Amino acid sequence: MKGINKLQAKWGVGPAKFWLIILTFALGGSLSGRLCSYLLKLVFLEKNLVFWLIYPLFLTILWPFSVIFVSFFTGQFSFFKGYLGRVGVKLFGRASAKVEVAPIHVAIFASGAGSNARKIIEYFENQAVSEFFATTESETGGSSRNPVRAAIKVSLIVCNVPNAGVLDIAKEKGIPTLLINKAEFAATGYVESLKNADIHFIVLAGFLWKVPEVLVEAYQAGEKIDAAGNVSRGIINIHPALLPNYGGKGMYGGRVHEAVIAAGETKSGITIHWVDAHYDEGDIIFQADCVIEAGDTPEILAQKIHALEHAHFAPTIEKILLG
């Protein structure tokens, strides 16, 4: 089970999509094996030594085509297109030169112990540089798809509680902090401070204040945030329930789990969503669920939710920023 969770986190997918991917691998392998045997039988009358020497080579050639074919029917084409592309890069390399870009600077807003903040920080510490393809302009005016190397860096911790544990994590990791007060936050959103820190993207990880409209507007995805033309990627939040249920003002932490258990729900989960001017109403980006068993308490449910948060939050951030 631990290995499955690790793979889900690595691929940035939920349980349903994970098993569809595994099914695609299995069906694709089976199809390539059958095709290989059928085609070779047209050439060889018997399975002699040459047959068995050619078989694995031919199977290797057929496998990616079989998997891509099956992926159309399982709905996993985009995943396997990227997966096979990465395998091809490892085997054959890339002909085009890598384009280096400046880090994407992320600010994490948190009010408490900071367990999610720590997981996010450590995830990107261990994956300091990520690669993806982007369209780049040439000096002659043309464009091409080139591999880009980009780093995601947690560059600021923003907190509204002077003694919160997340501040200790920031000190341990050597990350600058910004301690905010409610009146100024409501009035200015500390937009100037965030832009001065070159923040491109904001992550709410257990942050208990409502984000003011001035900050939401300043960090709309695509908004220019400095004179150099760098743009915001937006603001996201993680909520410990399956929105739109059990969200809104006052619904956070243990209160959510108590409400879910009291209602007799059979499942709960997490929702990662864009932040707008209202509590928990932004567009949903990702959800993952867990089963609530008979006898589960709010504390037990909280542990299940934390496991989902730690497995999925950082990979989802990576997917948003690097595609």
User: Among all residues, which ones are annotated catalytic?
Assistant: 239
| Rounded Cα gap, residues 28 and 79, in angstroms | 14
| Rounded Cα gap, residues 323 and 318, in angstroms | 7
**Residues with Cβ within 8 Å of residue 165, at least 6 apart in sequence:** 112, 113, 114
CB 128 within 8 A of CB 225: no
| Rounded Cα gap, residues 45 and 261, in angstroms | 66
CB 269 within 8 A of CB 289: yes
Other CB atoms within 10 A of residue 244 CB: 13
Q: Write a three-state SS string for 94-138.
A: CCCCCEECCCEEEEEEECCCCHHHHHHHHHHHHCCCEEEEEEEEC
Other CB atoms within 10 A of residue 30 CB: 12
**Residues with Cβ within 8 Å of residue 105, at least 6 apart in sequence:** 153, 155, 156, 197, 198, 199, 200, 201
Exposure letters 297-311 (e unless 16+ CB within 10 A, then b) = ebeebbebbeebbbb
